[in-house]
């Protein structure tokens, strides 16, 4: 990666862009749909689980002195494992970004461009991401830092705009569809913090492993607050989202808000911010993909690799036949794939590598 | 140098793309090509399932021929009707009839006739919510006369723009509480809610203007609730306004699920506002305790929000409401002594018993006659349940009809306004 150091706020922004884009893609609605009135409790519970898992993962990362997940895989299983893990993450990031892009393009098509083909809308995004990918990594990260506050502001504004009509009692019945459903099935909602996956690849660019742990905790807490704001806006302000399925519940709710009688129909402004946010998210994903390709192929020119890879995201986002396929992938596959890739695989690799390292160290000390 | 040129080139290309997409040339839809609907009427057809009416704005007539504002609002809109099988097919037929494409993005009100509302309107509401052009903040009105007749008579006398008229008319609820500003999204949310039932604005054409035999699509079966004894007992279509050339929104239409089951008159709507904590200000008339032949007008507003408590007693919901109001006396005569503490106490006590009676009557009417919880009492008891299954088994919306009520009112009559004693 053509980047030596990454600042604390920039690193947090990188993780948040993933959370914010899954919020734009209605991950909050998905949580409410499955958890009902227990959504708030469920997210607090999932935040605690994510923090515990994150602590374990990053305590193990600290043993490897700023090495990223691919380097640690290589240490444990050689180049073969490194390439396998690299390819898995490559597929994961391509899959997630394609789904988020396609979902957002479908929202734009239905609301603003009904007569434009989906490929044209997707192409507009891809061209911008392609151009962005030719810039240096630092430029993309700094641009992301500029876009993040506006996207956060959009989530906060939705919360404030709907807060006047809040019916707080929609948080009852407290346990939603039951204890087991809320705390066992609902644990899968730790997928909401999947932005942490970026941190696994930016480890060499963060000054210390301890700092990475601190940044991760801040990112999880901020992501959790944003998620809660979204869930509260839906659950208290538009509880029908738990019974109905909208093209975008977030857009649906904004369409009915106005800021006084002189500032009505604000959704266009929100859409503009979200377009920038999606572009920024795709650009950041392309950086990470470039970094993975760099390490698996062994090339030194990550910018060329990124530019080459951008059209692949375009093609992948065209694969789902229609919105129903996109939603199926988003609700049923995205969640579980994220848990496997962000928590389970890194945890297994780190534990095994740590055991190998300890064994080697013991061997050295006994010799 | 090459790098700088490259960066400028990239920025230039990006800006070109932005400009191309911002101009919106691809949509090929100009203001002259579209017919802006400001209100839509839906009712049962005679030859087909539906009769769809659209009120289309004629912008050139609204601003006057010289281009100055202030043109007559007469004929500033045109109402077209078509018998059809669905809203969308009706719009399609109308599109072939007029030279412009019908656009619903400025539609401010959806008017359903009473007869169609009695059969259920959820399919139309879902259909409207599904359309990207339709604004969720449009009002939903149940018309006591035919929807077409309602639209044809909606001639604003004080507004120049018909669309603005529809926008401002329901806001009278802020100072009268004789109606409520109910939006399409509120109705949609209430249909899907397990805490409450939906309600809508009740509208009609002023009775002085209404040609009830020819134009009323349905004979109202709720007229037993209206009487001319008190100014706040009117429902839409019965107010004795002398001009009588327009529509009036007075009262509320009460639904069970998506089916109209009854209507509330003006004072009952005030009661609804008090119970559901939506009252801003209102004027109520009570009989004068010192002179039974005259009335006292009171300007009321909340002192504290209404405290509501729902509990289950012997298997039935027991609902307690503590209403706390402040009021000032508007009416004045030569014997009024509003500095006299005893006189104020007597009036307060009279107001309290009047409001307690009205509120209890209103609540029992919603529970026993309509079986519809439009006051959202469900939210006050849902916390007693741990899971959604328990709540659904309890079936609040059905249980509400077994409710019994206790209302206590504390309305403090402060004084008159500028004149305190004569």
Question: What pLDDT, on the 0 to 100 scale, is given for residue B421?
Answer: 60
User: For residues B193 and B264, what is the distance between their CA atoms, to the nearest angstrom?
Assistant: 21
Indicate whether B241 pLDDT > 80. no
Indicate whether B396 pLDDT > 70. yes
Question: What pLDDT, on the 0 to 100 scale, is given for residue B25?
Answer: 53
Question: What pLDDT, on the 0 to 100 scale, is given for residue B353?
Answer: 92
Instruction: Kindly report which listed range (B85-94, B287-296, B329-338) carries the lowest average pLDDT score.
Output: B329-338
Q: Find, in chain B, the residue whose alpha carbon is nearest to that of A257.
A: B137
- Tell me which residue in A116, A135, A239 faces B189 most closely, judged by beta carbons: A239
**Which pLDDT band, with edges at 50, 70 and 90, does A38 fall under?**
very high
Q: Find, in chain B, the residue whose alpha carbon is nearest to that of A246.
A: B130
Give the mean pLDDT of chain B: 81
Q: What tens digit of pLDDT does each residue of B176-202 get?
A: 888 888 999 899 999 988 889 999 999
Q: What tens digit of pLDDT does each residue of A189-216 get?
A: 998 888 888 888 888 888 887 888 888 8
- The dihedral over CA atoms of B91, B95, B100, B101, expressed in degrees to the nearest 10, equals 50
User: For residues B20 and B27, what is the distance between their CA atoms, to the nearest angstrom?
Assistant: 12
Instruction: Sort residue A357 into left (φ over 0), alpha (ψ -120 to 50) or beta.
Output: alpha
- Tell me which residue in A127, A175, A240 faces B189 most closely, judged by beta carbons: A240
Question: What pLDDT, on the 0 to 100 scale, is given for residue B399?
Answer: 93
Contacts of residue B192 in chain A, CB cutoff 8 Å?
239-240, 243-244
Higher pLDDT pick, B159 / B322: B322
**Which pLDDT band, with edges at 50, 70 and 90, does A328 fall under?**
confident
pTM (two decimals): 0.85
User: For residues A258 and B280, what is the distance between their CA atoms, to the nearest angstrom?
Assistant: 20
- Tell me which residue in B189, B192, B383 faces A169 most closely, judged by beta carbons: B383
Across the interface, whether the CB atoms of B195 and A176 are under 8 A apart is answered no
Q: What tens digit of pLDDT does each residue of B205-234 get?
A: 876 544 443 333 333 333 333 333 566 666
Task: Pick the residue of B137, B139, B388, B390 with the most A CBs within 10 A to test the interface with A by mutation.
Answer: B388
Query: Rounded to an integer, what is the distance from CA A349 to the centroid of its chain?
Result: 21
Please choose, from the candidates B294, B300, B144, the residue with its C-alpha nearest in 3D space to the C-alpha of residue B230. Answer: B294
Please tell me chain B's helix, strand, coil percentages from 3-state DSSP, rounded to the nearest 5: 40, 30, 35
The torsion angles phi and psi of B299, rounded to 5 degrees, stand at -95, 110
Across the interface, whether the CB atoms of A258 and B137 are under 8 A apart is answered yes
Across the interface, whether the CB atoms of B135 and A265 are under 8 A apart is answered yes
Cβ(B340)–Cβ(B317) below 8 Å: no
Shortest alpha-carbon distance between residue A146 and chain B (Å): 17
Q: Between helices B184-192 and B122-129, what is the axis angle to 10°?
A: 120
Cβ(A329)–Cβ(A99) below 8 Å: yes
For A331, other C-beta atoms within 10 Å of its C-beta total: 16
**Which pLDDT band, with edges at 50, 70 and 90, does A98 fall under?**
very high
Decide if B382 touches A, using CB distance below 8 A.
yes
Indicate whether A80 pLDDT > 70. yes
With 0-12 CB in 10 A as exposed, 13-18 as middle and 19+ as buried, what is B96?
exposed
Indicate whether A259 pLDDT > 70. yes
Task: Pick the residue of A2, A40, A240, A264 with the most B CBs within 10 A to test the interface with B by mutation.
Answer: A240
- Residue owning tokens 């298997």: B315
Across the interface, whether the CB atoms of B383 and A114 are under 8 A apart is answered no
Shortest alpha-carbon distance between residue A174 and chain B (Å): 5
User: For residues B317 and B333, what is the distance between their CA atoms, to the nearest angstrom?
Assistant: 45
Q: Find, in chain A, the residue whose alpha carbon is nearest to that of B24.
A: A113
Shortest alpha-carbon distance between residue B229 and chain A (Å): 36
Contacts of residue B21 in chain A, CB cutoff 8 Å?
124
Across the interface, whether the CB atoms of A134 and B10 are under 8 A apart is answered yes
Tell me the C-alpha to C-alpha distance, in Å, between residue B305 and each of A166, B246, B280, B301, B317. Answer: 16, 35, 11, 10, 21
Q: Between helices A267-297 and A118-133, what is the axis angle to 10°?
A: 60
Indicate whether B69 pLDDT > 70. no
Residue B179 carries which DSSP code?
S
Question: What pLDDT, on the 0 to 100 scale, is given for residue A365?
Answer: 73
Across the interface, whether the CB atoms of B188 and A240 are under 8 A apart is answered yes
Structural domain boundaries in chain B: 28-264, 268-422
CATH of A8-366, one of 1.10.10.10, 1.20.1740.10, 1.25.40.10, 3.30.470.10: 1.20.1740.10
Percent of chain B with pLDDT over 70: 76
CATH code linked to domain B268-422: 3.30.300.210
Residue B421 carries which DSSP code?
B
User: Chains A, B: CB contacts under 8 A, how many?
Assistant: 73
Task: Pick the residue of B137, B181, B195, B387 with the most A CBs within 10 A to test the interface with A by mutation.
Answer: B387
Indicate whether B369 pLDDT > 70. yes
* Contact partners, residue A148, CB within 8 Å, separation at least 6: A13, A16, A17, A20, A280
Decide if A254 touches B, using CB distance below 8 A.
no
**Which pLDDT band, with edges at 50, 70 and 90, does B263 fall under?**
very high
Instruction: Kindly report which listed range (B117-131, B200-214, B352-366, B393-407) carries the lowest average pLDDT score.
Output: B200-214
Please choose, from the candidates B330, B44, B282, B88, the residue with its C-alpha nearest in 3D space to the C-alpha of residue B175. Answer: B282
Give the mean pLDDT of chain A: 87
* Cis peptide bond N-terminal to B238, omega within 30: no
- Tell me which residue in B137, B379, B386 faces A256 most closely, judged by beta carbons: B137
DSSP string, A73-93: HHHHHHHHHHHHHHHHHHHHH
Decide if B127 touches A, using CB distance below 8 A.
no
Percent of chain B with pLDDT over 90: 41
Q: Find, in chain B, the residue whose alpha carbon is nearest to that of A123.
A: B17
| Average pLDDT of the residues in B305-322 | 93
């Amino acid at each position: 990666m053509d980047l030596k150091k990454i600042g604390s706020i920039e690193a947090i922004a990188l993780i948040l862009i993933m959370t914010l884009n899954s919020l734009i893609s209605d991950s909050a609605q998905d949580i409410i749909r499955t958890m009902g009135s227990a959504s708030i409790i469920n997210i607090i519970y999932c935040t605690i689980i994510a923090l515990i898992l994150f602590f374990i993962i990053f305590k193990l990362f600290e043993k490897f002195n700023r090495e990223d997940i691919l380097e640690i895989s290589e240490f444990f299983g050689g180049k073969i494992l490194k390439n396998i893990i690299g390819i898995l993450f490559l597929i994961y990031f391509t899959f997630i970004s394609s789904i988020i892009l396609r979902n957002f393009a479908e929202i734009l098509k239905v609301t603003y461009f009904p007569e434009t083909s989906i490929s044209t809308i997707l192409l507009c995004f891809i061209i911008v991401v392609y151009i962005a990918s030719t810039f240096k990594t630092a430029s993309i990260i700094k641009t992301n830092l500029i876009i993040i506050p506006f996207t956060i502001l959009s989530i906060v504004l939705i919360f404030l705009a709907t807060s006047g009509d809040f019916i707080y009692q929609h948080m009852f019945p407290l346990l939603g569809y039951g204890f087991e459903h809320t705390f066992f099935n609902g644990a899968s909602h730790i997928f909401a913090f999947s932005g942490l996956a970026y941190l696994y690849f930016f480890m060499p660019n963060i000054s210390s492993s301890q700092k990475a742990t601190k940044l991760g905790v801040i990112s999880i807490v901020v992501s959790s607050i944003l998620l809660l704001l979204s869930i509260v806006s839906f659950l208290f302000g538009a509880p029908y989202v738990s019974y109905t399925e909208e093209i975008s519940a977030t857009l649906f709710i904004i369409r009915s808000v106005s800021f006084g009688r002189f500032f009505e129909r604000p959704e266009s402004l929100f859409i503009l911010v979200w377009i920038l946010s999606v572009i920024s998210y795709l650009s950041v994903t392309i950086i990470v993909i470039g970094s993975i390709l760099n390490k698996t192929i062994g090339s030194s020119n990550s910018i060329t690799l990124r530019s080459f890879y951008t059209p692949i995201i375009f093609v992948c986002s065209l694969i789902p036949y229609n919105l129903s396929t996109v939603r199926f992938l988003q609700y049923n596959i995205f969640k579980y794939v994220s848990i496997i890739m962000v928590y389970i695989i890194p945890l297994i690799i780190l534990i095994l590598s740590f055991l190998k390292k300890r064994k080697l160290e013991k061997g050295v000390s006994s010799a | 140098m090459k790098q700088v040129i490259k960066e400028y080139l990239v920025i230039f290309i990006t800006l070109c793309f932005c400009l191309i997409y911002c101009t919106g040339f691809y949509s090929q839809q100009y203001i002259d090509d579209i017919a802006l609907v400001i209100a839509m009427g839906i009712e049962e057809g005679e030859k087909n399932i539906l009769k769809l009416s659209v009120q289309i704005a004629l912008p050139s007539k609204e601003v006057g021929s010289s281009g100055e504002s202030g043109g007559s609002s007469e004929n500033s809109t045109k109402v077209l009707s078509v018998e059809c099988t669905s809203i969308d097919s009706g719009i399609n037929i109308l599109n072939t009839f007029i030279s412009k494409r019908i656009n619903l993005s400025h539609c401010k009100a959806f008017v359903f006739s009473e007869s169609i509302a009695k059969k259920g309107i959820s399919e139309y509401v879902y259909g409207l919510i599904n359309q990207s052009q339709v604004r969720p903040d449009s009002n939903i009105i149940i018309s006591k006369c035919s929807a077409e007749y309602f639209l044809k008579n909606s001639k604003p006398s004080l507004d120049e723009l018909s669309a603005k008229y529809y926008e401002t008319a329901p806001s009278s609820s802020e100072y009268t509480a004789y109606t409520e500003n109910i939006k399409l999204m509120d109705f949609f949310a209430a249909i899907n809610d397990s805490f409450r039932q939906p309600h809508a604005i009740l509208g009609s054409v002023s009775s002085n203007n209404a040609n009830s035999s020819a134009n009323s699509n349905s004979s109202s079966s709720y007229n037993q609730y209206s009487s001319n004894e008190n100014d706040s007992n009117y429902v839409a279509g019965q107010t004795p306004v002398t001009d009588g050339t327009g529509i009036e929104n007075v009262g509320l239409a009460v639904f069970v699920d998506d089916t109209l089951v009854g209507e509330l008159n003006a004072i009952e709507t005030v009661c609804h506002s008090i119970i559901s904590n939506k009252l801003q200000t209102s004027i109520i008339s009570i009989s004068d305790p010192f002179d039974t032949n005259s009335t006292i007008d009171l300007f009321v507003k909340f002192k504290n929000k209404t405290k509501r408590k729902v509990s289950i007693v012997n298997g039935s919901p027991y609902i307690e409401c503590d209403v706390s109001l402040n009021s000032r006396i508007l009416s004045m005569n030569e014997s009024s002594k509003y500095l006299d503490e005893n006189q104020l106490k007597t009036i307060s006590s009279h107001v309290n018993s009047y409001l307690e009676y009205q509120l209890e009557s209103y609540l029992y009417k919603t529970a026993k006659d309509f079986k519809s919880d439009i006051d959202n009492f469900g939210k006050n008891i849902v916390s007693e349940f741990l899971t959604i299954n328990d709540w659904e088994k309890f079936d609040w919306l059905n249980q509400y009809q077994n409710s019994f009520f206790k209302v206590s009112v504390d309305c403090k009559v402060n004084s008159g306004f500028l004149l305190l004693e004569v």
